Amino acid sequence: MPRPKLVLVYEPEKACLDRLVADGHAPERAAEIASYLAQSTDLAPEFDALAAACQKRGLCFAPLALDDAAGGLADEHADTTLVWTLTDGIAYFRGGAAPALARLNGLKTIGADDSLFALCQDKFRSGAVLGALGLPAPQAGLARDGHWLVEPPASPAGWFVKPNRLGAKIGIWPDSRSSDLSHALELSRRVFSAYRDDVVVQPYVAGRNVRASFLALKPDTGVEALGIAFVDSGGDFQTMADSLALYGDTGEAAKEAGQYAEPALLPVAASQPGAAATIRRIAARLMAGLGLRDVFSIDLRVEPNDNVHLIEFEVCPGLPCFDFRAYCHSQWGMDLADAMAETAASRFFS
């Protein structure tokens, strides 16, 4: 019998960039889109550390580029292989194919099933499901290239406009908070021209940004292991420029230029324990009703009165990002490589 093995499937930025350019995207826009795969770029230098952490626990480690996954997973043994998909995607990105390929070949996986990989990247559809589960997700309209597909609800505070399948919560530009719907339609034309995407138009919700991170180090880990932190970056919301400055090659360039500043992470429970308790209940509902498991993150907005708004969930949180590394240290007392290896080993040896 072969040694137990952790296979990490990842989609490289360069492969995505080349494919988008070949499909007719402008190179600058393609580079922005591909930047969402920067966690693959950022984690690759740690593959040796991951291999060592796995070996210490009796596992083999095998990173597998997505373009090689169809053949690579077909050769694996169902009883001894665990597949961890690093990046999601059904539109610009293709990582959602990996858990489906694992299921096709009878392989065990870390993370949600492949249906959620498809759902989480379509923000309009996922918002509808979250609403059906009774969760506090803002209602949304949907626009394509200046035309309403679904009109948004009225909002005295204005609206927030974001791409439907790209980046999830970011607003792309500083004027993504809109005070009138004609401007929201203009933003939809700009997004469609630049990225070929629809936009979600949601009522603007006030509050501070919160990231809730989860890693089930053991199979029976529950919502008590959720890490809940304010993410204070100095801005109301993240733009494309903000995102580019944090991760991947552009993040490295920002560090070298002295322009890199990680947002501050502050525990929500320290100042708003009621909001933290609400977020744990939301996470429990997502786990029970939606099927989130093993590893995920949730983005929320929290108002001073403890009112909580659920913005999105992610089945592939940015593992090498500053916030998830901080979570692994604070919750589990481990660096990222050891936390990942321990999670994988527990699925074989618990």
How would DSSP label each residue in 84-120? EE----SSS--TTHHHHHHHHTT-EEESS-HHHHHHH
Beta-carbon count within 10 A of 262 CB? 13
Give a yes or no: residue 49 inside a domain: yes
Give a yes or no: residue 306 inside a domain: yes
Residue 250 has a pLDDT of 53
Report the C-alpha gap between 249 and 313 in whole angstroms. Answer: 25
Residue 201 has a pLDDT of 96
Name the residue among 342, 272, 238 with its Cα closest to residue 350: 342
297 and 179 co-located in one domain: no
Choose the final residue of a domain: 203, 218, 244. 203
Strands 60-65 and 5-10, sheet pairing: parallel
195 and 218 co-located in one domain: no
Residue ranges with strand state E in the chain:
5-10, 60-65, 81-85, 108-110, 141-144, 147-150, 159-163, 177-178, 199-203, 208-215, 227-232, 264-267, 295-302, 308-314
Residue 169 has a pLDDT of 47
Q: How many domains does the chain have?
A: 3
pTM, rounded to two decimals: 0.92
157 and 77 co-located in one domain: no
Give a yes or no: residue 122 inside a domain: no
Residue 329 has a pLDDT of 98
Q: Tell me, what CATH number does 21's domain have? A: 3.40.50
Residue 12 has a pLDDT of 95
| 192: containing domain | 139-203
Report the C-alpha gap between 36 and 48 in whole angstroms. Answer: 23
175 and 252 co-located in one domain: no
Residues of the chain with pLDDT under 70: 1, 167-171, 234-261
Instruction: Please check whether residue 345 is in contact with residue 59, taking contact to mean a CB–CB distance below 8 angstroms.
Output: yes
Give a yes or no: residue 37 inside a domain: yes
The CA-CA-CA angle for residues 150, 156, 160, to 5°, reads 55
Instruction: Please check whether residue 294 is in contact with residue 347, taking contact to mean a CB–CB distance below 8 angstroms.
Output: no
Beta-carbon count within 10 A of 281 CB? 12
Please say whether the dihedral angle defined by the alpha carbons of residues 220, 315, 69 and 339, taken in this order, is positive or negative.
Answer: negative
Give a yes or no: residue 281 inside a domain: yes
93 and 163 co-located in one domain: no
Give a yes or no: residue 129 inside a domain: no
38 and 99 co-located in one domain: yes
Give a yes or no: residue 58 inside a domain: yes
Tokens of 116: 């959620």
276 and 191 co-located in one domain: no
Choose the final residue of a domain: 203, 218, 248. 203
334 and 220 co-located in one domain: yes
156 and 172 co-located in one domain: yes
Give a yes or no: residue 163 inside a domain: yes
234 and 332 co-located in one domain: yes
Helix H or strand E encompassing 186: helix 181-195
Report the C-alpha gap between 47 and 49 in whole angstroms. Answer: 5
Residue 106 has, within 13 A of its CA and on its CB side, a CA count of 6
The CA-CA-CA angle for residues 110, 114, 116, to 5°, reads 100
Burial track 163-176 (b if 16+ CB lie within 10 A, e otherwise): bbbbbbbbbbeeeb
